[in-house]
Amino acid sequence: YPVARRLTRRLEALKRGVEQFGAGHLHHRVDDSGRDEVAAVAASFNQAAERIETLLRSHQTLLANASHELRSPLARLKMAFAMLDEAAPAQRERLAREIDVNIAELDALVEEVLLASRLEAGSAVGEMHLVELLALGAEEAARAEAPFEPETDAAPIDGQERLLRRALRNLLDNARRYGGPDVELALRPVTGGYEFTVADRGPGVPADLRERIFEPFYRLPGHAEMAGGVGLGLSLVKQIAERHGGHVRCLPRDGGGSRFVLFLPAVHSASAGRP
């Protein structure tokens, strides 16, 4: 009977903890001490609760930052529409172009926020297929008008082509936006997979900020909103790389500038979250 009573008390405590969490107390965890089945269940619950809390907090942060980012294009749209009626013909054309640019910025922001949210949640965004990185690199380099230097005749991986294309395009666009026109793309085989390297001759990234630039909506000091972009490009690259079992790094470039190195494993890791 003492054993049964102890087990009952622990189950009741676990039940109360689950109810607390379900009532919105996301920080609440249950006692998972011990080595019996109840402790195992409690530990599993705590792990799930931690992931749920982290996910919800990140979504809240993402939406809060997105709301802030929406203010600038919306304010510019409001001003342009207010001036449109009384503008001269030449000014109306300029205002119409500004309106188109700001609407495109809003579209890009909404699209990237939705994609970031789905990646964060681990939602399925397409099936894994054989993707040839050599062809992908050649196509995106041509689009960006950047030299492409592959060091391999083939680079097949198991991945989601749309996401991989987005990651590479974001790196090239980012390099062009902040690093100037001298952008180069390289692809080489490495142990366990392949590396894309996007190199520019811009001002570079301070060593203490090379991790922060992959945070959502983070911009380097002096990189104003007028430079373009919505602040999610590099964050999406990081999410996409990790979804494929890879990673991305920012390194200094000899002679000045930055190198963004995107590693992708040759064989997709099951732990990376196949849909």
Domains of the chain: 1-123 (1.10.287), 129-272 (3.30.565.10)
- Provide the pLDDT for residue 271: 38
Quick check: 108 and 230 in contact, CB under 8 A?
yes
- Provide the pLDDT for residue 268: 47
Q: What percent of the chain has pLDDT above 70? A: 78
Greater confidence (224 vs 75) lies with 75
With bands split at pLDDT 50, 70 and 90, how would you rate the model's confidence at 29?
confident
Residue 275 predicted with pLDDT over 60: no
Over residues 200-214, mean pLDDT: 92
**Local structure of residue 217 (DSSP, 8 states):** T
Residue 158 predicted with pLDDT over 90: yes
Cα(223)–Cα(206) distance, integer angstroms? 13
Exposed e or buried b per residue across 162-192, where buried means at least 16 C-beta atoms within 10 angstroms of its C-beta: ebbbbbbbbbbbbbbbbbeeebbbbbebeee
Greater confidence (37 vs 169) lies with 169
Residue 241 predicted with pLDDT over 70: yes
With bands split at pLDDT 50, 70 and 90, how would you rate the model's confidence at 270?
very low
Residue 58 predicted with pLDDT over 70: no
Greater confidence (187 vs 126) lies with 187
Residue whose entry in the numeric block shows the structure tokens 């994609």: 115
With bands split at pLDDT 50, 70 and 90, how would you rate the model's confidence at 222?
low
What are the backbone angles phi and psi of residue 129, rounded to the nearest 5°? -140, 170
Q: Which residues lie closer than 8 Å to 250 by C-beta, 6 or more apart?
A: 205, 210, 213, 214, 258, 259, 260, 261
37 burial level (CB within 10 Å; 0-12, 13-18, 19+): exposed
Over residues 113-125, mean pLDDT: 66
